[in-house]
Structure 1
Amino acid sequence: MVEELAQADDAVAACVDAAAWSLPEHELVAALDAAHRLQQRLAAVTLTLVREIDGRGTARAQGASTTMVWLRERLRMTVPAARRLVDLATALDTGNPGIRQALADGAINLDQARVIADTATTVHRSAHAEAADKAVGVLVEWAGQFDSTLLRRMSTRILDHVAPDLADAAAAAALAAEDARATRDRHLTISEQTDGRLRLTGTLDAETAALLHAAIDPLSAPTGPDDTRCPGQRRHDALTDVCRLALRTGDLPDSGSDPAQVVVTTGYDTLTRQLNAGALDIGLQLTPDTVRRLACDATILPAVLDGAGQVLDVGRQRRLITGPLRRALVLRDGGCAFPGCDRPPRWCAAHHIHHWADGGPTNLTNAVLLCGHHHRHIHHSNWTVQLGDNGRPEFVPPAWLDPDQVPRRNHYHRRT
């Protein structure tokens, strides 16, 4: 398979720089159709490989918490996109050969395949396997005329075509299935932008959507005739108010043995003389005015850093990695330090590089932040962790994974 894919890669590469401008219109359209069909066939191959990798447990064997996280690191795709890929690969491997064949033939695309697979599963539950096969055939035919959005809308009454006697009961089953998919697909992604802001994207299930509206709608109304904020800005400010209210209750779970809190790092001169900016523990920068405003309602803790931003001292040393020592770890590591992991500090525990039970000291040079999965992985695998020449954690993979055992570092939490 590898050799055949390499040959296909060479053939496609030869087309990349081909002079498309010289093609007559009918050949240009034909080339587009051929490229699209090839893309779908390659998608079918990809799904087969993803299913095999997921079934073998390759991701966990190489240190990733899930196949989705492994795909993100390997193929640079988002976790939600990887999850959809794994889910579809599983669905096509468990009784939908017609969908796989249609995708391999280039008759449908990935989005249409997802719709057809979801519908076939629903029909199979509410009717029988024969009806599910008929539904796949009908939807594959419709896919030649309709995009995935219209196809999903039409699929809600597919039993009217393949099993009319079961249509009403199946409509209720379809609603339940849609609710299950909404629960499965719910997610919230927080991504850092280059200009020091965060972008929120996600999909909420119906219950969470109702809760969000109930929480922010009263706070996002215009405050008066002089309120010049647009609706989006008012909703943004309402979300800020909801978060402040939640933090003030004191009822939030602890975050890595500390109460939930916002951590801002700045110099004393910066704070008192309104110089330069401050840094949040999630890596974003704040203006001097914002730092001073937050300091009005804050606990001030000393932290000594050298010119390279390396933490030299944070309060007194303690037996447990809590308080000032943990804050120093957060400043240094920024989150789970294992390569490829993007878990934030609040989801991490502090790990002794040289185990405390074996005489290892509790200090900054013997500690590293690890999420729950990678904390367990380090304790039960042949990965080792050490501090590199720059004082930051690096992880040495086992010889079976990398015979050269080249140290690896996490690049998700870099501040520069």
Structure 2
Amino acid sequence: MLEDVQQLSDDAAKLAASPVWPLSDDELTDCLQAAYRLEQAASALQARLVRQAETRGVPARHGSRGTAAWLRTVLLLDPSPARDLTERAAALGRQPAAEQALLDGHADMRQAAAIADVVDSVRSGLSELGDVSAGEVEEVTQRATTTLIEMAGRLPAYQLRRVGQRILAHVAPHLAERAEAAALARQEARAHQAREFTWSMPRDGIVRLSGRLSVEDAATVRAALEPLCAPVAGDDRRPAQRRADALVDVCRLALRSGDLPDSGGEAAQVAVTIGYDPLTQALGAATTDSGERLSGETARRMACDARILPVVLGGAGQVLDIGRTRRLATGALRRALHVRDRGCAFPDCDRPPRWTDAHHIISWASGGATSLDNLVLLCRTHHRVVHHPDTSWRIRLGADGLPEFIYLPEADAQRHPRRNLYHPRH
């Protein structure tokens, strides 16, 4: 077998290096389908080899904690694909019919794994009903397997899983309602145990978030995020970007609420260490309390937030300042801002006060005071706009003490001030 596999691998590598431009459109499509079929057959072989290695105890003899860890070492896999291969090999081992469908080309690896998982769920669900005989369990399970394999000719894996949730309505309607109730109870229990939320180490300034929630918890999170995700005129953010911003906004609101537990004896907050050049009187790059680097521009914007504690260092690393109470727009001052601005003061933004930062018109880093006549409420999006190095917006208070925004393009020589007309004033 080893020689055959090596020969097949060599042949596949030669084919992969062959020019494909001479192929017609139909030939290109046919070759793509055949190459995918080859990949799936190889995946089936991988799954069988993994199961045999498990049966023989090979991972344990190599000192691995489990099969996935062994695969990471042997195949140099990342954790996620190593777990996927382990789980799919086990699923196909439990459901030979699904594996045979993969070998026969009637399903790909993901479809076969989905069929195996659904059939496992059907069998365990029927067995838990108590009054269904073993013979009927096997008969219904077989019908479910056959039906799902037939559906694999038309449906991708994720749709097979969705159809599988109600497969008994197709093959055993007299048992479907009771089995569904039992299945939902099991599903909710598993979801509760499987809930998780993780984030990666930063890479190129990006932290990848990953998590799993139960249906109930996901509905709660969605209810909190969706009001902040709705597209508005002039908003060019992608839906995924709006959701990411909404998640941060919800967390910023929680920090401002004062209801979070203390962390290390202090109120929950982000600490940012900022370099300061006394010659240029400019802030340099910053470091968060978790050790991540931020640009000076981002640090200046964050310094407006009452839940950001700036630690300013001089050239020799000495601590020049650890925040200042007068920097934070809290208590009566924050309430006065709410009364005056009614929400984000940027022209015609509709964000309410609780979703805003108190922005220093003359920056705190430049000696600006934390006072009513030097502060304006801005939502996160518009806070970023006015802090951008290339921003054309300037802010001032008008004769009546209300914020005005002046756009400074070359074509607008008159510099007409603009105000927020959305928030009502009494």
Whether the TM-score (by the shorter chain) exceeds 0.5 is yes
Tell me, what secondary structure is at the counterpart of 1:198?
coil
Tell me which residue corresponds to 2:59: 58
Q: Output the CA distance in 2 between the equivalents of 1:260 and 1:97.
A: 54
**C-alpha deviations, 1:212-257, integer Å up to 9, x for none?**
13444566689xx999686766654443343235455451676xx9
Tell me which residue corresponds to 2:106: 107
Residue in structure 2 matching 1:166, options 162, 175, 178: 175
Is the counterpart of residue 269 in structure 1 residue 277 in structure 2? yes
Q: Output the CA distance in 1 between the equivalents of 2:110 and 2:300.
A: 49
Change (3 A) 1:290 1:136: same
Question: Do 2:98 and 2:116's aligned partners in 1 also have CA atoms closer than 8 Å?
Answer: yes
Within-5 A mapping of 1:43-192 = 43-51=43-51, 56=57, 58=59, 68=68, 79-93=79-93, 95-127=94-126, 128-176=137-185, 178-179=187-188, 182=191, 188=197, 190=199
Tell me which residue corresponds to 2:36: 36
Q: Output the CA distance in 1 between the equivalents of 2:244 and 2:28.
A: 46
Tell me, what secondary structure is at the counterpart of 1:8?
helix
Tell me which residue corresponds to 1:298: 309
Change (3 A) 1:285 1:42: same
Provide TM-score, normalisation by structure 1.
0.56
Question: Do 1:37 and 1:105's aligned partners in 2 also have CA atoms closer than 8 Å?
Answer: no
Counterpart amino acid of residue 261 in structure 2:
D
Question: Which of the pair has the greater relative contact order for Cα pairs under 8 Å at 6+ separation?
Answer: 1
> Following TM superposition, by how much is the alpha carbon of 1:13 offset from its aligned partner in structure 2, in angstroms?
0.6
Counterpart amino acid of residue 278 in structure 1:
A
Change (3 A) 1:228 1:125: closer
Q: Output the CA distance in 2 between the equivalents of 1:298 and 1:148.
A: 48
**C-alpha deviations, 1:311-349, integer Å up to 9, x for none?**
xx99xxxxxxxxxxxxxxxxxxxxxxxxxxxxxxxxxxx
> Following TM superposition, by how much is the alpha carbon of 1:47 offset from its aligned partner in structure 2, in angstroms?
2.3
> Following TM superposition, by how much is the alpha carbon of 1:115 offset from its aligned partner in structure 2, in angstroms?
1.9
Is the counterpart of residue 288 in structure 1 residue 288 in structure 2? no
Question: Do 1:270 and 1:277's aligned partners in 2 also have CA atoms closer than 8 Å?
Answer: no
Counterpart amino acid of residue 276 in structure 1:
G
> Following TM superposition, by how much is the alpha carbon of 1:151 offset from its aligned partner in structure 2, in angstroms?
2.5
**C-alpha deviations, 1:109-150, integer Å up to 9, x for none?**
122113211210122123323322332222112212322233
Change (3 A) 1:183 1:287: same
> Following TM superposition, by how much is the alpha carbon of 1:96 offset from its aligned partner in structure 2, in angstroms?
0.8
Counterpart amino acid of residue 116 in structure 2:
A
> Following TM superposition, by how much is the alpha carbon of 1:15 offset from its aligned partner in structure 2, in angstroms?
0.6
Provide TM-score, normalisation by structure 2.
0.55
Tell me, what secondary structure is at the counterpart of 1:5?
helix
Change (3 A) 1:215 1:278: same
Q: Output the CA distance in 2 between the equivalents of 1:90 and 1:252.
A: 45
Q: Output the CA distance in 1 between the equivalents of 2:64 and 2:282.
A: 45
Residue in structure 2 matching 1:240, options 223, 248, 260: 248
Question: Do 2:272 and 2:311's aligned partners in 1 also have CA atoms closer than 8 Å?
Answer: no
Change (3 A) 1:269 1:213: same
Question: Do 2:274 and 2:283's aligned partners in 1 also have CA atoms closer than 8 Å?
Answer: no
Counterpart amino acid of residue 109 in structure 1:
D
Q: Output the CA distance in 2 between the equivalents of 1:4 and 1:305.
A: 67
Tell me which residue corresponds to 2:214: 205
Q: Output the CA distance in 2 between the equivalents of 1:218 and 1:146.
A: 34
**C-alpha deviations, 1:86-123, integer Å up to 9, x for none?**
32222223x31111222233321122113211210122
Question: Do 1:271 and 1:288's aligned partners in 2 also have CA atoms closer than 8 Å?
Answer: no
Question: Do 1:134 and 1:162's aligned partners in 2 also have CA atoms closer than 8 Å?
Answer: yes
Residue in structure 2 matching 1:251, options 231, 253, 261: 261
Q: Output the CA distance in 2 between the equivalents of 1:117 and 1:50.
A: 17
Is the counterpart of residue 21 in structure 1 residue 21 in structure 2? yes
Q: Output the CA distance in 2 between the equivalents of 1:305 and 1:117.
A: 64
Question: Do 2:48 and 2:89's aligned partners in 1 also have CA atoms closer than 8 Å?
Answer: yes
Q: Output the CA distance in 2 between the equivalents of 1:286 and 1:155.
A: 47
> Following TM superposition, by how much is the alpha carbon of 1:45 offset from its aligned partner in structure 2, in angstroms?
2.2
Change (3 A) 1:177 1:52: farther
Q: Output the CA distance in 1 between the equivalents of 2:17 and 2:230.
A: 54
Counterpart amino acid of residue 37 in structure 1:
R
Farther-moved stretch of structure 1 (176-185 vs 7-16): 176-185
Tell me which residue corresponds to 1:329: none
Question: Do 1:43 and 1:103's aligned partners in 2 also have CA atoms closer than 8 Å?
Answer: no
Q: Output the CA distance in 2 between the equivalents of 1:70 and 1:177.
A: 31
Q: Output the CA distance in 1 between the equivalents of 2:230 and 2:217.
A: 20
> Following TM superposition, by how much is the alpha carbon of 1:61 offset from its aligned partner in structure 2, in angstroms?
6.3
Question: Do 1:191 and 1:199's aligned partners in 2 also have CA atoms closer than 8 Å?
Answer: yes
Tell me, what secondary structure is at the counterpart of 2:6?
helix
Q: Output the CA distance in 1 between the equivalents of 2:260 and 2:125.
A: 47
The structure with more radius of gyration? 2
Question: Do 2:191 and 2:214's aligned partners in 1 also have CA atoms closer than 8 Å?
Answer: yes
Tell me, what secondary structure is at the counterpart of 1:279?
strand
Tell me which residue corresponds to 2:353: none
- Structure 2 unaligned regions, length at least 5: 127-136, 320-426
Q: Output the CA distance in 2 between the equivalents of 1:59 and 1:304.
A: 54
Tell me, what secondary structure is at the counterpart of 2:287?
strand
Counterpart amino acid of residue 118 in structure 1:
D
Tell me, what secondary structure is at the counterpart of 2:284?
coil
Q: Output the CA distance in 2 between the equivalents of 1:96 and 1:43.
A: 16
Q: Output the CA distance in 2 between the equivalents of 1:179 and 1:287.
A: 44
RMSD: 4.5
Tell me, what secondary structure is at the counterpart of 1:276?
strand
Farther-moved stretch of structure 1 (11-20 vs 48-57): 48-57
Q: Output the CA distance in 2 between the equivalents of 1:145 and 1:226.
A: 40
Change (3 A) 1:86 1:281: farther
Question: Do 2:98 and 2:112's aligned partners in 1 also have CA atoms closer than 8 Å?
Answer: yes
